[in-house]
Chains A and B, each alone.
Chain A
Amino acid sequence: MIHALLRGIDRLVSVPAASAHCDIPCKIYDPSAAQIAALSVIRFMDLINELGQKDSLTLADQALLARLVEQKESHAEKAKHEIRIIWGDYIKQPQRDAYPDIDALVHSIMLAGSACKQGIERDKGEKLLTLINEFAAAFWDTKGVTTFTATCPYPPSETVVYPKLD
């Protein structure tokens, strides 16, 4: 009631606004950033394993290896971060009701992401992507958007869940 009164006063004399300023517009949630990060992780694993085929590494190879490892880890972290944002800011009770396992799924993505930081085994990257694809399918479904799977048209040519936007 006090709020309604204040709103009335606000309409008459215009109460000054105090901005709870955000860096980015809210309500923009899209799991594609996490999917691309997971694809990048797999790609970096492939490139690292390619280097592993060599008998010996030159200084330049070693420098490249250091870069690839660093990028693999930061992209695994980025995938975790992007999922956490959607989970923390977008997923609320209605989405939980529709997907009761969503918390467990997000937790398994966190673990899979960490495993990708620790190791260079491709199957760890594939697992991360699979789980994030599962999350993406659930996410789009909560928004009433249907999805389809396709092979991404670039390396590492893995299966990705995409929203069908007509």
Chain B
Amino acid sequence: MPIGLYRVNGLSMSPGLAPGDYVVTLKRWKSRYRIGDIVVAQHPQFGRIIKRIRAIQPDGMLWLEGTHPDSTSTDKMGLMRREWIQGRVIRSIFQSTM
């Protein structure tokens, strides 16, 4: 499915994304990802995660990172295959702050 809708859990993408926010993702055929893109990925150990792309290797493998210091570290998440990326966040819907 090219378009995905996900609810954000956890705090590792704060302050950009907070728990309870929703994101819309898009995955195109041969999607080109760029450093800094927020993506949803299926991680073999951590399950479905939302993180930011920190680096892209020449072979297309990716390194992810959280935006919060307590995030699971890039090293711990390890190298990510492109196929594990489920889409790039194209729209965030924030929980209105009351």
Contact = CB atoms under 8 A, between A and B. Distances in A.
A binds B: yes
Instruction: Determine the interface band of chain B, counting residues with CB < 8 A from chain A.
Output: 35 or more
Given A6-B93, A15-B6, A20 B13 contact: yes
Contact of B48 (A6, A18, A85, A89): A18
Contacts of A22: 10-12, 66, 68, 70-72
Contacts of B46: 19, 21
Interface in B29-48: 40, 46-48
Contacts of B69: 85, 88-89
Given A3-B22, A3-B94, A6-B93, A20 B66 contact: yes
Contact of A23 (B14, B22, B73): B73
Interface in B45-66: 46-51, 66
A20 B11 CA distance: 6
B72 A15 contact: no
Interface magnitude class on chain A:
10 to 19
Contact of A20 (B4, B14, B22, B93): B14
Contacts of A24: 70
Contacts of A15: 5-7, 22
A18 B20 CA distance: 10
A4 B95 CA distance: 8
Interface string A82-123: 000100110000000000000000000000000000000000
Contact of A21 (B6, B21, B23, B71): B71
A2 interface: yes
A17 B51 CA distance: 13
A16 interface: yes
A20 B12 contact: yes
Contact of A6 (B5, B47, B66, B73): B5
16 contacts: A4-B96, A6-B5, A10-B22, A16-B48, A17-B6, A17-B8, A20-B8, A20-B10, A20-B11, A21-B72, A22-B12, A22-B68, A22-B71, A24-B70, A26-B70, A89-B68
Given A17-B9, A20-B9, 5 more contacts: A20-B49, A20-B68, A22-B71, A23-B72, A89-B69
Interface of A: 2-4, 6, 10, 15-24, 26, 85, 88-89
